[in-house]
A = this chain, B = another copy of it.
Amino acid sequence: MFTLYYATHTCSLASHIALLDAGAPYELKRIDFGKKEQQSPAYLAVNPKGRVPAMVTPRGILTETPAMLAFIAQSFPDARLAPVNDPFAFAELQSFNSYLCSVLHVAHAHRMRGYRWADEPSSFADMQRKAPQSVGACFDLIESRMLKGPWVMGDSYTVADPYLFTLAQWLEDDGVDPARIPQVMAHRSRMAEWPNVKKAIAEEFAD
A117 engages B122 (CB within 8 Å): no
Question: 8 Å CB contacts to B: which residues of A115-143?
Answer: 116-120, 122-123, 126-127, 129-130, 134, 141
A98 at the interface (CB under 8 A from B): yes
A36 at the interface (CB under 8 A from B): no
A126 engages B134 (CB within 8 Å): no
Partner of A126, one of B70, B105, B118, B129: B118
Determine how many copies of this chain the complex contains: 2
Cα separation A118 to B121 with both chains bound (whole Å): 13
Interface size on A, residues (CB 8 A): 48
Q: List the B residue with the shortest CB-CB distance to A71.
A: B91
Chain B residues with Cβ below 8 Å from A63 are: 95, 99
B48 engages A141 (CB within 8 Å): yes
Q: List 13 A-B contacts (CB under 8 A).
A: A57-B88, A59-B88, A64-B94, A66-B98, A70-B90, A71-B87, A71-B88, A75-B87, A98-B101, A101-B101, A119-B126, A120-B123, A123-B123
